Structures are given as C-alpha cells and as structure tokens.
Amino acid sequence: MITGVAFCPHPPLIVPAVAAGAAGELDDLRAACGAAIQDVMAGSPDRIALVGPGPVTGGFDDDAFGSLVGYGVDLRIGLPGARVGQTRTEPTLPLSLTVGAWLLERAGWQGPVTTLALAADADVETLQRRAARLADPAERTGLLVMADASSTRTEKAPGSWQPGALAFDARISAALASGEPTRLADVDLPEAREVGAHGWPAWRVAALATAASRWRAHLYYDDAPYGVGYLVASWS
C-alpha cells in the first residue's frame, strides 16, 4: 500500500555543488523538498520507491548511481546506503533519479529504495502495470515522485516560451494541492509535450498508484525561477 507521496522537481542546480555561487537561489526549493520527504518518512514506510522520467522504462540495481559531470561537477550520487563505484564504473541513473537519490540522502532516509524510470513513450498499459506493483498491499511504500512541470515559461527557458505553459502548470499545481489522484491523472499528454513537461509519466503512475485512497495534501512550493515550473507537494 502507498503510505504517502512526495512530489519534487529535479533541476541539477538543486545540488549546491552544481549551483556553486548561486546555490542560495534555490534554498527555498531545497527546504520544500526536504519537508515533503519528511512527510513521507513520517508515514513509516518499509521502503521508498523513487520514480521519475528517464530514457527507458525500468528499474535499477541497488548499486546504480548517477553522475553530474555533465553539469560541470564530477560528482557521483548513489542510492542511500549504497557504496558508489564498488561494482560499477559507469553511471546508469537518469537525472531525475540521481537528484531524487541526493534528496533522500539529504533527508536522512536509511531504508530500502527501489527505483523506477519512465520513458516519455510509455503506453497506458505499461503505466498501469507499474502503478499496480507500487501499490502492492503487502508492503508499506512511500513514493518520491520526481517531475518538472513546463520548461517553457519564459523566452530564456530551456524550451523557449509557450503561451500555455503558465496555465498548464497552474492546473498541475491545483491537482497536487487538492490531494485528488483523479485530477492529477487528467494530464493532457499533447499539451504536456507542447509545454515541455517531461515528468508527466511519473505523475500519471503516482495518480494510478494512489487512486484507492484519500489524501491530505500540502503544497510547499510553486515557482519557476529559471523559466521551468518547479512544484513541491506531499500527500499523507
């Protein structure tokens, strides 16, 4: 069963070593992510499932790690409790799960972590199967869902400017604040692609996995400091 959900974005700049002198600009975002993860930990899950977008759909071994070398820092980040680089020499975790692993370590989570990357072309049946596994009633599972909203809020945003980006993000923010899985599941896929919201598969899986429960929601953060929508919320 799902005991709680934390929704966080995954900008590499959230890791202070990457942001360097601009690290303070995202202090509020880091604090919000930490609070949302603490809410999930307060539900006493047996494990946390780390879910986010990636190039292919599937999970990773416990010794998997990600790298931020592509963002100017030779930093390897593994899952909490794992020894990075003992049996693997090449990074395998996508950015979303790499940042998620960093957030879990920062929050002090010391229990088991399972991973799930979701490709942008994943079909509905695949997402439903993955959600059903996450919601297995035999195990208490907390979710950490890593997903950026639109990447087209301004001209200088990674995807330039799209007129519908602000309204799209507002609908996702309202869905997260409502604690209603059906509202989060109602993400328009063509629109998500148009505004560069590549985290939509993670939202969809979370909505499907939590559909059988009622949730108390807390929206911690809603802003777009670099033209990318960053939303942080928890469902308890």
> What is the architecture, at CATH level 2, of domain 2-235?
3-Layer(aba) Sandwich (3.40)
- Band of pLDDT at residue 83, cut at 50, 70 and 90: low
Dihedral (C-alpha) 118, 120, 123, 124: value to the nearest 10 degrees? Answer: 70
The CA-based angle 223-217-116, given to 5 degrees, is: 80
For the stretch 150-167, pLDDT in tens is 999 988 888 888 899 999
* In the chain, domain spans: 2-235
Helix (H, G, I), strand (E, B) or coil at 151: coil
- pTM of the predicted model, to two decimals? 0.95
- Band of pLDDT at residue 99, cut at 50, 70 and 90: very high
What residues contact 236, with CB distance under 8 A and at least 6 apart? 4, 39, 40, 42, 43, 215, 216, 217, 218
* pLDDT recorded at residue 195: 94
For the stretch 100-121, pLDDT in tens is 999 999 999 999 999 999 999 8
